[in-house]
Structure 1
Amino acid sequence: MSLNRSFPSRWPVLAILSAALAGPLCAHAALFGDDEARRAILQLREQRSKDNEAQQARMEELSRQVDQLKRSLLDMHTQIEQLRLDLARQRGQEEVLQRELSEMQRRQTDLQGALDERVRRLEPQPVTLDGQTFQVEPDEKRGFDEAIARMRASDFAAAAVALNNLLKRYPNTGYRHSAHYWLGNAHYGLRDYNAAIQAFRLVVDGAPEHPRAPEALLSVANCQVELKDTAGARRTLEQLVKQYPRSEAAQAARDRLLTMAAPAAPARAAAKAPARPAAASKAR
């Protein structure tokens, strides 16, 4: 019982001892907690600082990359514009070249056409005359055509000059037999019957198979009649009938011979009647 009675009296002492022992422990515990907190805060600040620095570095890197990309885009834009300018310039040059090429082709075509025309004028060309085909030079053809045009205009002097010039310049021309025939007609129109007979004889003697040969003989007879050479005219007409019996000229010669066989006065009149200028006939 004494123990039980004495225990309550010790509670205050125990309480005081407990408080005295707990005070330093709590202070130490509080001090330890503040240090940990500060270290945590410092570590957090340090981590955040590092994160901020890293983020800043990343932002700067991104900004640098963006700036570089901008410069690249600007350079690319500049290059694209330069390419556009170059392309436009090239297109302009192509258009100029195309126009120049077209103009050159046109000129070449014109020159080729002019050259072909000049060559055509200089090259021999085929001609068919009096049933015969032969090659003649352009000037040769032009000379003969001009002479025939003079004949059709009854300008016998100019026709004779043109035909003589043609025969002198081209002695072996394919026109020579026809030219001699028309030369005879030109002299006949000029009443130079002897010269006409010589020209007509060149046809008969030089080309007896020529289509104009029968007409040439008939014209010789006409010239002889004009020269009052009736005997010679008769012989020529007989030669015509014998040498070219089926020709139209031979039929005319037969009629002429019948007229010559009539009395003298009518014969002379009849002989003169058909003896009209051969050049007056249509030049063919």
Structure 2
Amino acid sequence: MRRLTLVCLMAAAWAATPAHAGLFDDEEARRQIADLKAKSDARADQQAKSILDLANQNQRLAEEVANLRGLLETLIHKQEVGDKRAQDFYLDLDTRLRKFEAPAAAGGAGAPAEGAPAAQQAATPAADPAREGPDYEAALNFFKAAKYKEAAVAFSAFMQKYPGGQLAPNAQYWLGNAWYAQRDCKKAIEAQTVVTTKYADSPKAPDAWMAIATCQQEMGNAAAAKRSLETVLAKYPNTPAADAAKQRLKK
């Protein structure tokens, strides 16, 4: 009987062991699931925070871009207004200067140089003021209408037709401005250099030097621009261009 009782107790203990093991396995699984859920929730919270931070950064960047765009538009508008005022000023100045130059041109137009060979006098046709003036005005009207490409073509044709005309320095100067208005500083400098060399005594020469300095500055050659401004002060000290050069050199 004792042996039978012992066998029964051992069998019962053996039967209870899997149940206990199963209970332990369930608790461990639940614990692991809870840990995984906690970690998943933490990652979700972190991701949500990162997304929120990114959204805030995007919002700030958008606001900064909008502010910069507004500032750029304001600067462009001011530049356009400044260019228009400068253009109107030089056009008005050009008109005033031509009124003073006209009497001198009338007195010397068509007159051969004293002592020049007869063959040279015959080979050099006198400029026709009756045609020169309208052709110049036609080219200048293109510039006034902001048709800068057409203005460049017209002034180039004028210079080929009237290289020794009374209005040639003016036409060459506005040819340079027409190229500058098209943002072609290289051709603008080339055109204005003709004014500063071939027509160095013209009232347009100091303005041509100023235009060259502007192009050099925009091309990133500050040293060359400084030399051009200093040339204006040295060669044309008592001109409006010299006053403008002084102000620019101070900056």
Q: What's the TM-score, normalizing by structure 1?
A: 0.44
Q: Which has the larger radius of gyration?
A: 1
Q: What's the TM-score, normalizing by structure 2?
A: 0.50
* Bigger relative contact order (CA 8 A; separation at least 6): 1
